[in-house]
Structure 1
């Protein structure tokens, strides 16, 4: 606990990282040591005494390694280029924050707390971002209390977002709000998303031109397999970070109604379209197959490809939208190529749960937007009703509840996505 100048105890923040939860928390929720992500300005090392992951200030890495306190991950040489980039990163102004209203909350007697007594306030504020910010972390403090919380949605560049919370203060003028994010985590997410989108465009282009009987089908199949691997790696990286900061992306695809073989889509299905001999490798085949979704989107398409000699699981690079199909290929060994078959891998429960969570998040976000719009109209209304303070308090309570529900749903969503692509 921290003691403020007024002598009032203020709760310490749960942890100092703004963008990413600490490494110990990450490992507790199932993220492996190799996959732990460090927050802004920090560098991942292995603590020599406990052989556990630690995130330390980049400027201290060389000293800690030299004196034996830390080891580099995998005992590899320190990445001096990355280290220098982290150390020399320049700070940027991410957003401006304006407090719109501080409305006293009535005490149990129905009157505002008088004089220098501690009173509770509904604080309504607006954040205008100059760059995209994922998982915006806010620190709001007064002469009596300090709070830190994460906004429910990312902040888009050039867009202002209204938010609200409750805070105790003896003097409402002492209330200050700052953003804790440093920006480089958001930059990393934007870069990963851009790379992922580019890979998906390439994959879509090859799939659109691919025909099972085409002489170039084998070459295209190899390109698809390579791109799918790259996409899954990028997805794993992206969702690992999003899992640690609780913010999922949303992707929408074009809906088709026919399979690649010209049949009407009837429910979820997976079928082999063609099996080609792999060049100069007896017993190895390129199996080209399609996977289709019926009336419900398959959020996490995972397929099992089997033969009389081998079995392997294939994670497709993207969700399959309802009433559409994806074509892809895989290399597989077989004594008899007619035994090669494809079936769903049995992750329907995870896929359904992820889809349900996505629907839940969208619904909660719509409710949150409605509450914020209502609150914004209320505080900007020149003819304020007599019960203005009560109305503000009602909306602040609802906004806080919705924000917490969204955060929990996003955490669960990204955990499923991360575990699938890990």
Structure 2
């Protein structure tokens, strides 16, 4: 394969010449980075307008322009992930999808700092600027990705938090320029990923509502409890699968999400909750399958919330590990059921599976994220008041710069904490 062929293949894959690759993944991490941080090849998430394939040369994962997929496969550069024929209906949907107008960006203040950094080729002096701007979203935007450019510099970074629909957030950046009017800010997100996250979250919420309804009506003595137990097991599996999809996507875009459920302060068997516990409530014969049982059990948290609860159900014949959900709140219980084989149904028991390390890390990260977010909100409010104050103090520039530096530092810390939180959540449900 000669240099010209290689160059043409590179353009087919990206749709652009190589230097523009740094902006080809505005919503999610590049596929090789996702693999590096532990996401399997099958689970890699592709950015807007891209289709997942395998490079034939080295069997690595790649996200390529959807319009070029058929050419790349025909030329032998790529194969499909599962070796199955391309789903042309899905491919055409990606190709023909129109971009979404996500937000409006307004520059609120451009503050020149006293220091100069040099001279441009035009002979004009290059200065440092603090730029304060707001992003007003028309639709929810996860991991807002911003490109800031001037006549002297270009920057590309991710905001730490999602932006809710019909709301505005303030953000800041530092940039060099000879002419401050040359500073422009654009949003790189195309909208596909945000739509996917909203869809997954809505589907998860719907499943959780169904599970809450069935759990609230479940009674151990009810003759229909066996059918309800089977339905609970089915819903729990669907919920965990949906959670895995959601947290994998959130992990890839460095933005976690938590779901919060709360149940009563008594066990389902009517006892006062005393510390962490797991117990079998009932064991029923499974329909038409000798030796298979539906075990209904409860898991309770004492004075401390259990994050990422995992329990083990065992019998004299089988052992299963069950992922209960995001958490069990302090002084509350969750009830669910599982099918398990046993020679003697009295041997069926339930115990915690020892997920303490992940649980503790997730709890610590959640506290840190909340603290960083609170500090970020306070800094932004102070900065907003400062720039909107008509009676500006003499040290206005120094004050603005102090807050900008602090907000950037908090933003970087917040993104790292959220990435680690998402990694734990994804690995738990994977």
Distance in 1 of aligned mates of 2:281 and 2:65: 53
Q: TM-score, normalised by structure 1?
A: 0.94
Instruction: Indicate the residue corresponding to 2:155 in structure 1.
Output: 147
2:358 to 341, 350, 367: 350
1:121-200 → structure 2 map (5 Å cutoff) = 121-200=129-208
Shift of 1:14: 4.8
Give 5+ residue unaligned stretches, structure 1. 1-10, 110-114
- The answer to whether the Cα contact below 8 Å between 2:147 and 2:154 also exists between their aligned partners in 1 is yes
Shift of 1:81: 1.5
2:235 to 227, 236, 245: 227
Correspondence 1:213 to 2:221: yes
Shift of 1:12: 8.2
1:281-360 → structure 2 map (5 Å cutoff) = 281-360=289-368
Instruction: Indicate the residue corresponding to 1:24 in structure 2.
Output: 32
Distance in 2 of aligned mates of 1:303 and 1:270: 8
Instruction: Indicate the residue corresponding to 2:396 in structure 1.
Output: 388
Instruction: Indicate the residue corresponding to 2:74 in structure 1.
Output: 66
Distance in 2 of aligned mates of 1:290 and 1:104: 62
Shift of 1:106: 2.0
Distance in 2 of aligned mates of 1:174 and 1:211: 68
Distance in 2 of aligned mates of 1:72 and 1:279: 42
Shift of 1:342: 0.5
Instruction: Indicate the residue corresponding to 2:14 in structure 1.
Output: none
- The answer to whether the Cα contact below 8 Å between 1:255 and 1:322 also exists between their aligned partners in 2 is no
Distance in 2 of aligned mates of 1:235 and 1:150: 24
SS at match of 2:258: coil
Distance in 1 of aligned mates of 2:63 and 2:21: 18
Distance in 2 of aligned mates of 1:353 and 1:379: 39
Distance in 2 of aligned mates of 1:347 and 1:254: 20
Instruction: Indicate the residue corresponding to 1:6 in structure 2.
Output: none
- The answer to whether the Cα contact below 8 Å between 2:294 and 2:339 also exists between their aligned partners in 1 is yes
Q: TM-score, normalised by structure 2?
A: 0.92
| Aligned positions, number | 407
Q: Bigger CA drift: 238-247 or 250-259?
A: 250-259
Shift of 1:322: 1.4
1:274 to 282, 286, 296: 282
Instruction: Indicate the residue corresponding to 1:4 in structure 2.
Output: none
Distance in 2 of aligned mates of 1:181 and 1:412: 22
Distance in 2 of aligned mates of 1:16 and 1:108: 32
SS at match of 1:168: strand
Shift of 1:250: 3.1
Distance in 1 of aligned mates of 2:275 and 2:150: 57
- The answer to whether the Cα contact below 8 Å between 1:44 and 1:55 also exists between their aligned partners in 2 is yes
Deviations 1:231-275 (A, max 9, x none): 111100000010011111132223521110111111211100011
List structure 1 runs of 4+ shifted beyond 3 angstroms.
Answer: 11-15
Correspondence 1:94 to 2:98: no
Distance in 1 of aligned mates of 2:219 and 2:326: 20
Distance in 1 of aligned mates of 2:226 and 2:428: 28
Q: Bigger CA drift: 409-418 or 85-94?
A: 85-94
Distance in 2 of aligned mates of 1:243 and 1:75: 27
- The answer to whether the Cα contact below 8 Å between 1:13 and 1:147 also exists between their aligned partners in 2 is no
Distance in 2 of aligned mates of 1:13 and 1:171: 27
- The answer to whether the Cα contact below 8 Å between 2:317 and 2:341 also exists between their aligned partners in 1 is yes
Deviations 1:41-86 (A, max 9, x none): 0000111111111100000011111222111111111111211111
Instruction: Indicate the residue corresponding to 1:8 in structure 2.
Output: none
Say what the alpha-carbon RMSD is for the aligned residues: 1.5
- The answer to whether the Cα contact below 8 Å between 2:116 and 2:128 also exists between their aligned partners in 1 is no
- The answer to whether the Cα contact below 8 Å between 2:273 and 2:300 also exists between their aligned partners in 1 is yes
SS at match of 1:74: coil
Distance in 2 of aligned mates of 1:89 and 1:108: 45
For residues 361 and 20 of structure 1, do their structure 2 counterparts lie closer, same or farther at Cα, with a shift above 3 Å needed? same
Give 5+ residue unaligned stretches, structure 2. 1-18, 118-122
1:359-398 → structure 2 map (5 Å cutoff) = 359-398=367-406
